[in-house]
Amino acid sequence: MNDVRTAASPATRTRAATVAVLVAIVAVALNQRPAVVAVAPVLRDLRADTGLSAALAGLLTTVPVLCFGAFAPFAPRLARRIGLETAVALSLVLLAAGIALRLFPPVVLLYAGSFVAGAAIAIANVLLPAYVKREFLRPGPVMGLYSASLNVGAAAGAALTVPVATALGLSWRGGLGMWLVLALVALVVWLVVAGTGKEHRTGPGLVAGGSWSLLRQPLARQVTAYLGLQSVQFYAVAAWLPTLLADAGVPVSEGGLLLGLANVVGAGGALLLPALAGRMRTQRPLVLVVLAFYAIGLGGLLLAPGTATVLWVLAFGIAQGSGFALALTLIVLRSPTPLTSARLGGVAQCLGYLLAAAGPFVLGWLHDLTGGWQWPLALLLVLLLPMIWAGWGAARDAVVDPGEPAVPV
């Protein structure tokens, strides 16, 4: 067996094979945000070209997040039927197809491409944390690397879409379409390293059931609520931050760069917090740290968006990067097995992302209604209260009762 494949157990895998697995995880993670985040920097050009309203344009970032929620529960079942590795590879194929659809002129294909890309990312969102839990004896640091890679991908989508498209003479459609290359590279890397995972398949008849029954437990509900409310913050601000800053007098060319900066500094928090979380019996101090940075960032954007803008963006970036990484890590830490992690991730991301999907649309609607960004930002600040409640419960030293047979994913 080729030593870069994952058939070996975590304890016996060579250093080279471990590095190869980490590279594959990073390659997939880098693709899980650009297709969504890259829309925000081109929203003005997109609206000017298509005539879409702010609310309808906001749906272009809402549709993928809705798909994150709608398709998340199917990911564990898909992995059990075709293999976890094959399911991740399929997600990359679908992602490439979704990005390609947005290259064509009819407006409806913008939404169709966003739908397909969102469904693809939903599969990887659920299965990569389960893959990490299965492949590594200490998943905390690897979850940090995974989460940081999500932020780096988001930063690249926000900061590079417009400059690279401009340098290459591409339209806003070409700017969105250029991320197809990254998806195809990740597919090749994943197939070379992970293959199809035949060694881990258990046959089509062994399908885990009762994932939704996990929500009978308060701990599972709190993990779900924390993930959802944290994601509301990220996707709402990611969709509208460049426009918000432009309305505050910040040059349009800097809006996407500042959004990228938020994701870059977020990658630092995403890398650090899961490693810390894995060493702590309770992660409640980390929940408070995330809350503090959110309050600083959102409060500054509300009160003085055109003054000390970089400070507010940096604070929000740290909050969203570390907060989302903590949410994903809590799914892993609160799960006793990889299968439980996939099941809990499926239901948590289903409900959490369905809640988060309302963020960009509601913020766009409130902006259209009030003509400003004060009320949308005030709403995000109020939502920190239930988020801290959910995080406090989700961070306690406990695991959910899996109620499942001990079979591999």
Round to whole Å and give the CA distance between 282 and 284: 6
Asked if pLDDT for residue 54 goes beyond 80, the answer is no
Q: Look at residues 69, 131, 122, 85 and name the one whose alpha carbon lies nearest to residue 356.
A: 69
Q: What is the pLDDT of residue 87?
A: 94
Q: What is the pLDDT of residue 2?
A: 39
Please enumerate, as own/partner, the contacts of 295-301 that have beta carbons within 8 Å and a separation of 24 or more: 295/381, 295/384, 298/233, 298/377, 298/380, 298/381, 298/384, 299/381, 301/244, 301/373, 301/377
In this predicted model, which residue has the larger pLDDT, 94 or 212? 94
Q: What is the CATH number of domain 15-394?
A: 1.20.1250.20
Q: Which residue carries 């008849």 as its tokens?
A: 205
Round to whole Å and give the CA distance between 382 and 340: 32
Backbone φ and ψ of 33, nearest 5°: -130, -30
Determine what percent of the chain is predicted with pLDDT higher than 70.
Answer: 91
Q: What is the pLDDT of residues 271-297, one digit of tens each?
A: 888 889 888 889 999 999 999 999 999
Asked if pLDDT for residue 179 goes beyond 60, the answer is yes
Contacts of 5 (CB under 8 A, 6+ apart): 17, 193, 194, 195
Backbone φ and ψ of 14, nearest 5°: -70, 165
In this predicted model, which residue has the larger pLDDT, 6 or 261? 261
**Domain residue extents for the chain:** 15-394
Q: Look at residues 141, 196, 143, 187 and name the one whose alpha carbon lies nearest to residue 345.
A: 143
Q: What is the pLDDT of residues 71-114, one digit of tens each?
A: 988 888 898 888 889 999 999 999 999 999 998 888 899 999 99
Contacts of 212 (CB under 8 A, 6+ apart): 73, 347
Q: What is the pLDDT of residue 7?
A: 46
Q: What is the pLDDT of residue 404?
A: 54
Mean pLDDT of 134-152: 86
User: Of the spans 38-42, 253-257, 386-390, which averages the highest pLDDT?
Assistant: 386-390
pLDDT band at 41 (very low <50, low <70, confident <90, very high): confident
Q: What is the pLDDT of residue 141?
A: 86
Q: What is the pLDDT of residue 45?
A: 86
